Structure 1
Amino acid sequence: MTTATTTRPLVFLALPQEGAARLATQFLLAITGTLLLTLSAKTKVMLGPVDLSMQTLAVLLIAAAFGMRLGVATLLLYMAEGAMGFPVFQGTPEKGIGIAYMLGSTGGYLAGFVVMAAIVGWAADRGWDRHPIKLFNAMLVAEGVMMAMGFAWLAMLIGPEKSWQFGVVPFIVGDLIKVALAASLVPAVWSLLKRS
């Protein structure tokens, strides 16, 4: 039989459990998460013909560590920062800022990040973050949903053929690598914590 502690997401083991201290800690974690998302958006890795940001990896790790509620809240706070004009996204400020940028070609992917956090956070809340295969499957579903949302939005702007060619295909291998990396890292951290 599992206890409540063993099925909770990684980060909650270190949180104060009462009132204002817990809320303050969650708020600080959410702010830290948005900073990590911003840094990951600005960090690019060349893989083939496209620059890949580390943002997908950051979303997966935050969701697995924070769980569904705090993970989604962190992503919504990140979106709010972007909507207010802060240059937190990959193409900001070079390609615009605020709502105008969010309604551009990356709009579907940005919305997909929130759904991705919900799916992975839901899995983490159920203890899947300790099992690499279960976590990989949840992250793969989350990745597929995010890519589908990005594709659908982009298809409305430039058509389905170009959307598939430029908005999906170049990112498949890189995103699969990030999913595999995240699904391996989180259970490994749990295993190290269990030993110590």
Structure 2
Amino acid sequence: MSLAIASRSLVSQSLPDNAARRLTTQLFLAVGATLLLALSAKTRVVLGPVDLSLQTLAVLLIGATFGMRLGVATLLLYMAEGAMGLPVFQGTPEKGIGLAYMMGPTGGYLLGFVAMAAIAGWAADRGWDRNPLKLAGAMLVAEAALMVLGFAWLAGLIGAENAWQFGVAPFIMPDLIKVALAACFMPAAWALLRGLGISRH
């Protein structure tokens, strides 16, 4: 199935017109982005008592840059890599690998990453990534989807109070900062693209 779609996302502006080359480029981008996701999962920033990864920021930027279908396909490829036992997630291999890890406490957040990429990509496909306020609104919805799925999954394992205390509350402010960064980055990237004469819109 072809990943090529009519999209207003940033990546769609620089893809070749030839269908075969376009698909090859998209596959290359998807694989490269899964490497970025794995790297972001392993990159930790100490913010007070909590160690945070840059993965949420990476997911938002992949969705907003790739558009919905390619962004979701990339996240699904990333999940497939993890399911096959590759140590691409934040807690792997220290806390397990493969499906066993994915069914653990972080399972809801992994599902949330796919939803997050879909929402950010949906917004990009409609040109919202040119406007930081529109994009920030969409990314806030994406962030809420991530938190709801992560909380619901974790609450089923350790109870709602603990899930909120350990799985949501410490990450609200840091993730809002990531949303702001991503929402500002995309319009800047579009401005650069137009300056280079690459944008078609």
TM range (shorter): over 0.9
Q: Which residue is equivalent to 1:4?
A: none
Q: Which residue is equivalent to 2:84?
A: 84
Amino acid at match of 2:111: A
- The within-5 A match list for 1:148-187 is 148-187=148-187
Q: Which residue is equivalent to 1:3?
A: none
Aligned residues: 190
Q: Per the alignment, in what secondary structure is the counterpart of residue 87 of structure 1?
A: coil
Residues 57-81 of structure 1 show CA distances to partners (whole Å, capped at 9, x for unaligned) of 0000000100000000000000000
After TM superposition, give the deviation of residue 13 of structure 1 in Å.
1.3
Indicate yes or no: 2:107 matched with 1:110: no
Q: Which residue is equivalent to 1:24?
A: 24
Amino acid at match of 1:28: F
Q: Percent identity?
A: 73
Q: Per the alignment, in what secondary structure is the counterpart of residue 8 of structure 1?
A: coil
d(CA) in 1 for partners of 2:82 and 2:141? Answer: 26
- The within-5 A match list for 1:45-124 is 45-124=45-124
Q: Which residue is equivalent to 2:131?
A: 131
Q: TM-score, normalised by structure 1?
A: 0.95
d(CA) in 1 for partners of 2:86 and 2:95? Answer: 13
After TM superposition, give the deviation of residue 192 of structure 1 in Å.
2.0
Q: Per the alignment, in what secondary structure is the counterpart of residue 37 of structure 1?
A: helix
After TM superposition, give the deviation of residue 17 of structure 1 in Å.
1.9
d(CA) in 2 for partners of 1:184 and 1:15? Answer: 23
After TM superposition, give the deviation of residue 136 of structure 1 in Å.
0.2
Q: TM-score, normalised by structure 2?
A: 0.93
Amino acid at match of 1:136: A
d(CA) in 1 for partners of 2:83 and 2:168? Answer: 25
Unaligned runs of 5+ in 1: 1-6
Q: Per the alignment, in what secondary structure is the counterpart of residue 67 of structure 2?
A: helix
Q: Which residue is equivalent to 2:4?
A: none
**What RMSD over aligned residues (CA atoms) do the two structures have, in Å?**
0.8
